[in-house]
Each structure stands twice: as C-alpha cells, then as structure tokens.
Amino acid sequence: MANSKYEYVKKFEVDDKLPPHNWIVLRIDGCHFHRFAADHMFEKPNDENALNLMNICAVSMLEHFPDVVFAYGVSDEYSFILKETTELYQRRASKILSLSVSYFTSVYVMKWKDFFPHKELREPPSFDGRVICYPRANIVRDYLAWRQVDCHINNQYNTCFWMLVKSGKTEREAQESLKGTLSKDKNELLFQHFSVNYDKLPAMFRKGSCVYVDKVEETVKLDYSGNPVKRLRKKVTVGHFDIISPKFWNEHPYILE
Ligand code: ATP
Ligand code: ATP
Ligand code: MG
Ligand code: MG
Ligand code: MG
Ligand code: MG
C-alpha cells in the first residue's frame, strides 16, 4: 500500500523478537479443561482418547513446523521445543505463539470426531500459550524433567483419588485421606486396597508422551538377488519414555544437538 497519513500507527507496534542462540520452549495448556473434561465425560483419572487426541495434534505440529524438534505432553498441556537456530517468523514471540496455538486448536477440533465418534464437541476448546527461552540444552532437559516430575506427582495422586472415589468415598473424603501422604504411601494404598501395582499402569499415564523425529530403517525394495535395500527415513513418532534419566537422550543425541 502507498503511504497514507495513517501509516504512523504502525510505529506503535513493539519488537518482540526472541533473543538469538536460545532454545525456544512453547507451552500450551487447555483453558478450563477441568470443566471441559467433565462436560465431555472424560474417563477419570485418564481418558485415553483425550490423550491420544492431544498426541495427534502434537504430531501435526511437528509436521507443520519442522523447527519443532521435540514435544512433551501430559493432561491438557503440551510443550514444544524449537531448535536453537530457528528463524520461524523471525523469532517474533507473538507470531510464534498465536500461530502455533491456533494451529493446535484447529487440529484438536478437526480430529475430535476421530477420537470421539459418539461424542459431540459441546463447546469450542481453547488453549493458552507462553514462550520461554533457554540458553542451553541442559536447561531444556531440566525443563522437560520438571514437566515429567509434575506428570508423575499428579498422576499418582489422581490415580489414588479416583480409586477412592470409585470405591465409594466422597471427593472430600478421598482428598482428606490423601492429605500429607508420601509417594510410597500412595503406592502402598494402591497395592493394599486396590491390588494395583502403580508401575504396571500404562506408560502414557505415568510418563506422559514424547513426540520427536525418529530415524527408522525401512526396506524400499529388493535388489536383483532378493536382498532388501534399506534406507533411513525420518518419521514423527510418539513414545512414553523416561526423559529425566540420560538413556533416551543418549539414544537420540541429534534431538537437542
Ligand atoms: P486452566 O484454565 O487454569 O488451565 P484447567 O481446568 O485446565 O484450568 P489444569 O491444571 O490445566 O486446569 O488441569 C487440567 C484438567 O483437565 C485436569 O485436572 C483434568 O481434570 C482434566 N483433564 C485433562 N486431560 C484429561 C484426560 N485426558 N483425562 C481426564 N481428565 C483430563
Ligand atoms: P500472511 O500469512 O502473511 O498473512 P496471507 O496470504 O494471509 O499471508 P494477507 O495479506 O493476510 O496474506 O491477505 C489475505 C489474503 O487472503 C488476501 O490477499 C486474499 O487473497 C485472501 N482473502 C482473505 N479473505 C478473503 C475473502 N473474504 N475473499 C476473498 N479472498 C480473501
Ligand atoms: Mg493453566
Ligand atoms: Mg488447563
Ligand atoms: Mg494443565
Ligand atoms: Mg493473512
């Protein structure tokens, strides 16, 4: 557009470029999902379909934004790690935030019926988002460990809470009986009263979900003597690993390099 006398309004915009040489962590979280989960009768404590829907949205994010190198999700939240050198939207915070949150939300709505074919989406879901910059990969790992510890603490509590409620206690009584209990007390409660071995519960509930680009070997064809010709293909993969200990990172050094 040619310059008009109104052009000056543009000067009021602020520069919100994130600093260079930093990993960018974007965390989104469902707005009022306590109520959203109740309105859509999510299974308690963990609705598997709802978690799988979140995971599919995260897979779409990695496919749509190739600079996202890793994502970690639990409950109604997902964290996305953008590589240190990303120039996505010239690193403008508001662009990165608004486009990724709206993209995630749209995929959530579009894919809803695939995971809940018999449940109508009764209200428009929304997600909040924030960006945080971390100057070193080891801090990004600590960030992810922080989220996974949170996943563990919440899941252990919620598993006990809902076991007690489903066995006839009121929500208040369940809350009371868990007050001040330690991690080992909760494991003991699950085992003694409900014959549940916490460690045997699905890894997705205990560990949350990791989404990353894996290098998988696949057979492309057979050669003239019938031997398989293989090549490495990049594939966006979902897994439920321990990301606090070094094992996963040692096996996938290219993710945060
Ligand atoms: P806010 O808007 O502040 O984020 P919130 O109600 O979304 O509030 P959170 O702390 O984000 O609160 O917690 C999300 C809540 O959503 C959980 O407490 C749980 O009740 C519910 N929830 C999310 N995903 C699931 C799921 N897969 N299965 C069962 N419940 C879920
Ligand atoms: P960016 O991602 O940078 O915003 P863009 O393709 O969205 O790129 P805009 O400058 O926002 O570009 O312009 C929006 C374009 O969308 C218009 O140029 C027009 O082609 C198209 N468009 C939007 N709304 C309508 C509409 N109601 N009818 C016809 N075309 C439309
Ligand atoms: Mg919140
Ligand atoms: Mg929430
Ligand atoms: Mg949450
Ligand atoms: Mg546009």
Tell me what the mean pLDDT of segment 183-208 comes to.
Answer: 97
Report whether residue 51 contacts ligand 1, using a CB cutoff of 6 Å: yes
Q: Separation of 199 CA from ligand 2 center, angstroms?
A: 52
Q: Separation of 89 CA from ligand 6 center, angstroms?
A: 13
Report whether residue 47 contacts ligand 1, using a CB cutoff of 6 Å: yes
Superfamily of domain 17-207: tRNA(His) guanylyltransferase (Thg1) (3.30.70.3000)
Ligand nearest to the CA of 45: 1
Ligand nearest to the CA of 36: 1
Which residue of 27, 28, 31, 34 sits with most ligand 1 atoms within 8 Å of its CB, as the best mutation to test the pocket? 34
Q: Give the pLDDT confidence of 29-81 residue by residue, as tens digits.
A: 999 999 999 999 999 999 999 999 999 999 999 999 999 999 999 999 999 99
Q: Give the pLDDT confidence of 33-45 residue by residue, as tens digits.
A: 999 999 999 999 9
42: its two tokens: 């999510």
Q: Give the pLDDT confidence of 127-160 residue by residue, as tens digits.
A: 999 999 999 999 999 999 999 999 999 999 999 9
Q: Separation of 45 CA from ligand 4 center, angstroms?
A: 15
194: its two tokens: 């409900």
Ligand nearest to the CA of 31: 1
